[in-house]
């Protein structure tokens, strides 16, 4: 065995072992925790990569993240993304609207008609008929 690539404190080592013993852990976190423990034991990065069936650059990345973030490196940072515009309350109102009788002059609700009415009733600022269909499909509505 060689010199350890990282040196965990006793507390960090105990936290990692406790985390691994829980058994209910995402695979990413499990692999990262295992890699940190193995690197601390003096295993080479190549051996750890081979054992965990991941690439050598990934091990390098985890080691560098450990140096910067300590055990915070086990978890991914929140990812940016488009914010939710239609919340659960608006979805429920759209679903309830689809369950009401169709407006006069229409045999049944069409997706575009539901979208127009949802905007008119200020359930949301804007929504397309396609998105209304997606909302109703996720609620398993039979009115589509």
* Residue 144 pLDDT > 60: no
Number of domain units in the chain = 2
Do 17 and 68 lie in one domain? The reply is yes
CA separation for the pair 52, 114 (Å, rounded): 51
Q: Which residue has the tokens 């940016």?
A: 80
Do 21 and 63 lie in one domain? The reply is yes
The answer to whether residue 3 sits within a structural domain is: no
CA separation for the pair 108, 142 (Å, rounded): 12
The answer to whether residue 1 sits within a structural domain is: no
pLDDT tens digit sequence for 99-135: 999 989 999 999 999 999 999 999 988 999 999 998 8
Q: Which residue has the tokens 């910067």?
A: 68
**Residue 127 lies in domain:** 88-138
Q: Which residue has the tokens 């499909």?
A: 137
The answer to whether residue 134 sits within a structural domain is: yes
């Amino acid at each position: 065995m060689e010199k350890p690539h990282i040196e965990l404190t006793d507390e960090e080592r105990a936290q990692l072992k406790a985390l691994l013993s829980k058994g209910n852990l995402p695979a990413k976190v499990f692999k990262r925790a295992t890699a940190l423990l193995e690197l601390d034991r003096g295993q080479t990065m190549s051996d750890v990569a081979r054992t965990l069936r991941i690439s050598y650059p990934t091990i390098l990345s985890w080691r560098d993240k450990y140096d910067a973030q300590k055990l915070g490196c086990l978890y991914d940072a929140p990812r940016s993304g488009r914010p939710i515009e239609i919340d659960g309350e608006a979805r429920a109102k759209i679903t309830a609207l689809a369950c009401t009788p169709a407006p006069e002059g229409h045999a049944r609700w069409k997706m575009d008609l539901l979208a127009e009415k949802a905007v008119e009733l200020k359930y949301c600022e804007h929504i397309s008929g396609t998105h209304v269909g997606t909302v109703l499909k996720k609620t398993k509505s039979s009115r589509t």
